[in-house]
Amino acid sequence: MTLSLYNSMGRRVEEFKPIHDSEVRLYACGPTVYNYAHIGNLRTFLFEDLLVRALTYLGYRVTHVMNITDVGHLTDDGDDGEDKMMKTARERKLSPWEIAEFYTKAFFEDTEKLNIQKPSIVCRATEHIQDMIALVKQLEDRGYTYQAGGNVYFDISKFPRYGELASLDQENLQAGARIEVDQNKRNPRDFVLWFTNSKFEHQAMVWDSPWGQGYPGWHLECSAMSRKYLGDQFDIHCGGVDHVPVHHTNEIAQTEAATGKSPWVRYWLHAEFLLTKAFKMSKSSGNFLTLSRLEEMGYTPMDYRFFCLGAHYRTQLTFTEQALQAAQSARRNLMSRVGTLPDMDTARRQEGVSGLSEKALEYRRQFTQHIADDLNMPRGLADAWAVVKDKELQPWEKRLLIAGMDTIFGLGLGDFTAPEEDQVSQESLDPELVRRIELRIQDRNEARKNRNFSLADSIRDELKSEGIMLIDTPQGTTWTPAEEKL
């Protein structure tokens, strides 16, 4: 089946064609380990996990490389602000090396809780300083750099395609030239490749280089390490949408300038922001929730994973506790339904997909089609709900289908068996209660059709107060017992 992905370079959905058949080389920007990852950061890493799982599901062999930024960089992408690593080290009275080690460990503890698969290769910036120096030397030899104020800068005027990813035009670049940010820069969008004149006294993380003792600019590390492990050209580069205008734009410029090869990356994929009260999740803005905090509030990491599955990765997702509660209830109900399914016997397992009925095979084709359509996880979840509710499917077929879907969802549904006391489902409720709920859903659908949203919301609230959570899907509205009172 043809895989289609939204390529940020060109801003369109394209058929995915890797450089080498059945092999995908993928690089993802990793964490900057000066603080805990917030749940907005983790949404991006969940997206990348789903991408790798989907590629594997569709038959590709994936080499997934992710960096760890353990070299402090500035708080602003434009080489401005305060060094994040040094700031945290000073506040906690530790060395920046100790800070990096502590938060790297914390990051992988979070990803393990979220069932995010570890990349094929994890590379630390501090272990690749010589690769970065070699890249700067190559750029210098090719005439793309200048030195000013003791630092080495990339000259964007020497790279005509600069800003292509972010759709920056020459007029915008010229207008930006009138804004004075760094007096050493010829153009405010020029960026530092190597700092020898640190903005901070007693900089702890420094290395010897041909230009003097110093440290690399932030954008340099991803270019150097991706080339080391994936070559001069590869298939997919991922990150958050906030990386588009500066970080990824600068990566493209310095890499293609150094190698003379274009395109450096065939497909650029970016996850959208997680919002809280109309603001993006951000440490600097104060909208900062960690996975540990969600656990303290009574939610599991799998509740948050399920919450993120409910929105397309290119859609801004608004976080509220009410929305997380709904995801928690829906996940519990799905787990309950799956948990009541009998396990497959050995013969069924060996027979596998070949023994499925035509209807079951159609569900499988439909799910695969939705995944291949730019990772449409909401539709994939709707397929899972349809499978567990379909009374025409054999229980073992449901089990097999859900197990296959869960290789992408990563929710632990494959061999899940619910404890007897947790096996709550619609079928176990009083038929009269079920009938009344269905009638109220019909009333709500009619209200929405007539644009009487106030009535529709009141019906939702009424049912919620009775322990019923409504779930709106492309196929219609379903419901789940949300509270133990039923």
Q: Is 222 annotated as a binding residue?
A: yes
Crossing angle between the packed helical segments 39-57 and 96-113, to the nearest 10 degrees: 60
Least confident residue range of 35-49, 53-67, 177-191: 177-191
pLDDT of residue 279: 58
* pLDDT tens per residue across span 397-423: 999 999 999 999 999 998 776 554 444
> pLDDT-derived band of residue 180, with 50, 70 and 90 as boundaries?
very low
Q: What percent of the chain has pLDDT over 70?
A: 84
Query: What's the mean pLDDT in 192-199?
Result: 85
* Domain membership flag for residue 238: yes
pLDDT of residue 75: 47
Q: Does 480 have pLDDT greater than 60?
A: yes
Domain holding 108: CATH number? Answer: 3.40.50.620
Do the beta carbons of residue 338 and residue 413 sit within 8 Å? Answer: yes
Do the beta carbons of residue 245 and residue 168 sit within 8 Å? Answer: yes
* Domain membership flag for residue 396: no
Q: Is 112 annotated as a binding residue?
A: no
Do the beta carbons of residue 484 and residue 337 sit within 8 Å? Answer: no
Q: Does 10 have pLDDT greater than 60?
A: yes
Do the beta carbons of residue 324 and residue 308 sit within 8 Å? Answer: no
End-to-end CA distance of the chain: 43
pLDDT of residue 85: 73
Give the Å distances, CA to CA, from 69 to 222, 224, 267, 317: 9, 13, 23, 26
CA 76-78-80 angle, to 5 degrees, is: 55
Least confident residue range of 77-91, 191-205, 295-309: 77-91
Residue 194 belongs to what domain range? 19-271
CA atoms within a 13 Å half-sphere pointing along the CA-CB vector of 243: 24
Do the beta carbons of residue 143 and residue 158 sit within 8 Å? Answer: yes
Length of the chain: 486
* Domain membership flag for residue 380: no
* Domain membership flag for residue 471: yes
Q: From 210, 238, 271, give the residue that closes a domain.
A: 271
Crossing angle between the packed helical segments 395-409 and 377-389, to the nearest 10 degrees: 160
Do the beta carbons of residue 125 and residue 96 sit within 8 Å? Answer: no
pLDDT of residue 464: 75
Q: From 240, 271, 302, give the residue that closes a domain.
A: 271
Do the beta carbons of residue 215 and residue 203 sit within 8 Å? Answer: yes
Q: From 223, 252, 271, give the residue that closes a domain.
A: 271
CA dihedral in degrees (358, 359, 364, 367; nearest 10)?
Answer: 150
Query: What's the mean pLDDT in 344-348?
Result: 64
* pLDDT tens per residue across span 277-333: 755 666 655 557 999 999 999 999 999 999 999 999 999 999 988 899 889 989 998
Number of Cβ within 10 Å of residue 130's Cβ equals: 11
* Domain membership flag for residue 179: yes
Q: Does 456 have pLDDT greater than 80?
A: yes
* Residue of 313, 323, 247 lying closest to 289 (CA atoms): 323
HEC assignment per residue over the chain: CCCEEEECCCCEEEECCCCECCEEEEEECCCECCCCCEHHHHHHHHHHHHHHHHHHHCCCEEEEEEEEECCCCEEECCCEEEEHHHHHHHHHCCCHHHHHHHHHHHHHHHHHHCCCCCCCEEEEHHHCHHHHHHHHHHHHHCCCEEEECCEEEECHHHCCCCCCCCCCCHHHHHHHCCCCCCCCCCCCCCEEEEECCCCCCCCCCCECCCCCCEEECHHHHHHHHHHHHHCCCEEEEEEEHHHHHHHHHHHHHHHHHHHCCCCCEEEEEEECCEEECCEECECCCCECCEHHHHHHCCCCHHHHHHHHHCCCCCCCEECCHHHHHHHHHHHHHHHHHHHCCCCCCHHHHHHHHHHCCHHHHHHHHHHHHHHHECCCHHHHHHHHHHHHHCCCCCHHHHHHHHHHHHHHHCCCCCCCCCCHHHCCCHHHCCHHHHHHHHHHHHHHHHHHHCCCHHHHHHHHHHHHHCCEEEEEECCEEEEEECCCCC
* pLDDT tens per residue across span 357-370: 999 999 999 999 99
pLDDT of residue 78: 53
* Residue of 36, 206, 34, 28 lying closest to 126 (CA atoms): 206
Query: How many angstroms separate the CA atoms of 59 and 304, rounded?
Result: 28
Q: Does 262 have pLDDT greater than 90?
A: yes
pLDDT of residue 430: 58
* Domain membership flag for residue 261: yes
For the chain, the domain total comes to 2
Query: How many angstroms separate the CA atoms of 248 and 264, rounded?
Result: 11
> pLDDT-derived band of residue 183, with 50, 70 and 90 as boundaries?
confident
Q: Does 255 have pLDDT greater than 70?
A: yes
* pLDDT tens per residue across span 222-242: 999 999 999 999 999 999 999
User: Tokens at residue 339, please?
Assistant: 């948990």
More confident residue, 410 or 481: 410
93: left (phi over 0), alpha (psi -120 to 50) or beta: left
Query: What's the mean pLDDT in 187-200?
Result: 86
More confident residue, 426 or 86: 86
Query: What's the mean pLDDT in 204-215?
Result: 92
* Domain membership flag for residue 56: yes
Cβ-in-10-Å burial (0-12, 13-18, 19+) of 143 comes to: exposed
CA atoms within a 13 Å half-sphere pointing along the CA-CB vector of 334: 27
Average pLDDT value over all residues in the chain: 87
Do the beta carbons of residue 349 and residue 397 sit within 8 Å? Answer: no
Q: Is 247 annotated as a binding residue?
A: yes
Amino acid, res. 88: T
pLDDT of residue 419: 53
pLDDT of residue 448: 86
Q: Does 18 have pLDDT greater than 80?
A: yes
* Domain membership flag for residue 454: yes
Q: Does 173 have pLDDT greater than 60?
A: no
Q: Does 251 have pLDDT greater than 50?
A: yes
> pLDDT-derived band of residue 177, with 50, 70 and 90 as boundaries?
very low
